[in-house]
Structure 1
Amino acid sequence: MPTSSTSASRASSRISNMSFRVLWLLAIVGTLAACGSVPLPPEPAPVRPPPAPSTGPAPDDGVPPGVITQGKSRWQPVRWSDLPGFEADALHEAWNAWLKSCERPAPPWTALCPEVRRLSIASAEEQRAWMRQRLQPYRVDALQGQAEGLLTGYYEPVLDATRQPTAGSAVPLYRPPADLATRRPWYSRQEIDTLPQARAALRGREIAYLSDPLDALALQIQGSGRLRVAEPDGSVRTVRVAFAGTNEQPYRSVGSWLLQQGLRDATWPGIKAWAARHPQRVQEMLWINPRVVFFREEPLSDFDAASGPRGAQGVALTPGRSIAVDRESIPYGTPVWLVSAGPQVTLQRLVLAQDTGSAIVGAVRADYFVGWGDAAGEIAGRLKQPLALWVLWPR
């Protein structure tokens, strides 16, 4: 969500078989997201959508409707022919994410969701024809007029953990402290590590322990993750840890701090390489970011394992088809046409705005949910490139 997170957690087509996952990952090879922790509250706040334009002629047949100002953004009406790559996208992949948004639709999508469901078995040509008839594309610009923004990526880490601290696994992940609501902001990361009263408040709140403090930081930045937990009885169980709150301290990017120290590669792989070379400075680096994310543990059924975590809209994220946005510019549940070209990847595809993050701020800004595991982490950790967005809004 991102960089961190109110998150969080938090960082965001369900992949159900290995061959499809491999093909999908190859299609997305990318560059870094500075951000993310993505907040994943169980119930998103109500959204006041912008007014829907009145029905009129198809945009390619006549003059598009007027400009809409939405929060920090200005939506400029365009013709469907202005959307790069619209005829080539595999819409059925995005339709799966759209169906998820229809589990918790906001106005005016409530009226259209029955049609979206009926079209889930339609051909791509039929889906495209329906979109042209029922939706109007708008290019998203900043209020100052800029149409280009930034795309980053986030993912769900998969990490080994233990229930009890050991010599090789002693970095705790915490549930929210009981007094979190009474002390705002709560103790900073450095205070949690050094003050007896902060440590006492978290005693008994440990969910599990990791071996690497950088893995714990990454989990907090992404906002959620999967743990392969070694249980006391010797069994190993996979669970999900989801965003449950923060200490409400400001987020500070360790990558930005390292750039100030002279590091040239502030991608996540570059940060881990720096830490390996300077183990004596890792604690100093961690304390640069005072924000701490707290988690809740969730069971992970076979069904859940094929899905991403729940985003701020309250629906499960779809790898490659869900994005985190600034909700003041794009309401949750909105279908968005995303275009981004970098050194190694070009994306032209339909995605759904289903999440947010504390670092996802501005009109033309998105965090792209890549998936879960190490391969997704490599992509998300390097994805940082120009972005253009078009919202698709009901006529």
Structure 2
Amino acid sequence: MAEIDQAAVAQVATVARAARVASRRLALLSRADKDAALRALADALDAATDDIVRANGEDLERGSASGMPQGLLDRLALDSQRVADVAQALRDVAALPDPVGEVVRGSTLANGLQIRQVRVPMGVVGMVYEARPNVTVDAAGLGLKSGNAVILRGGSAAESTNRALVDVMRSGLEAQGLPADAITLLEGGRDSVRALLTARGLVDLIIPRGGAGLIQTVVTESTVPVIETGVGIVHVYVDKAADLDKALAITVNAKTHRPSVCNAAESLLVHEAVAADFLPKVLAELSGAGVVLHTDDASGAAADTAGVPHQAATEADYGTEYLALEMSVRVVPDLDAAMEHIRSYGSGHTEAIVTEDRAAARRFTSEVDAAAVMVNASTRFTDGGEFGFGAEIGISTQKLHARGPMALPELTTTKWIVEGDGQVRA
């Protein structure tokens, strides 16, 4: 790895030290103070909607001129309703229980020592992400509620939007008498990102959020501990015992509701016993919604029968996170074959089965290795907000510390507090 520019190293060190000072102040705040600050930030974002949307328009114009794909433009876009939504997410976080100080477990030992494990903030959390302005607000809000300072490094495609959002929130913090450095936007080129990833001792945790390339870069180059938020190669499996009306609604929703996000379905697996009845209907509806279909021989034949355009699926298609109106389709002989396909191509994010057979559902939930497993429900529900967390900082597909949608508890670590009365160890 090439040497990092020392000016970038110095910049990150300055930012991180200021964030550390801010984090110590946040760690001592009461829940009431944090909740009041979150509501004030939400009000400030609402009041600045026009400025934020105007800044976002600059990013969208640059993105469109550079040929940014439509799916990524959708992720980048903020209109007045989306600004209202991200502001509301802060209010939702304010309404949630404060994890800091929660006793995870404890006991009194035979020698009289009282021990308890309590949740405490991580400290300084770095976020590295792409063109998702909502992440800027969600990360800031969750960081504040969990007592952490956050250093945000969004993609250059959202540069104007992120700057506008962070300026509003930093001003909001100062108006509440809180340190603005609790929320910092790290600007600069690639060397700034690399300096953040290697700021071990200054930054406590890095969370990447974006495509496979970004995540892999962060995981391989970071010397700071990383929680890996993985890509979403997500499947819907329609079992032989499925209610086909439910299966149709779930499949279409999982693919088309918002195709540019990680919990959108990328692959459809259909049991051969229901393929003849189900495929013509679902392929026609998906195609009518603009979905490009990548089919195996059996599903391709069904598409031909229904007069639906399609392309022959390649091996690469089954392992692709499209993040767009595209979907691979395969007919499988049984549940075992469906689960084997998921084991081969899934990313451990979210998998869904549609079935009225409880035994099949139990096998699927027990044997499929993913952060979230759905039974008779759209994959689009794998989301911190939908799970009742208020917002999420990412969806972890790893198994250490956190897995699935990460919100407030996942932004804390623990410490042991031991209270005695003069005990010494023999």
> TM-score of the superposition, structure 1-length normalised?
0.27
Q: More strand per residue: 1 or 2?
A: 1
Work out which structure has the larger RCO, using CA pairs closer than 8 Å and 6 or more positions apart in sequence: 1
> TM-score of the superposition, structure 2-length normalised?
0.26
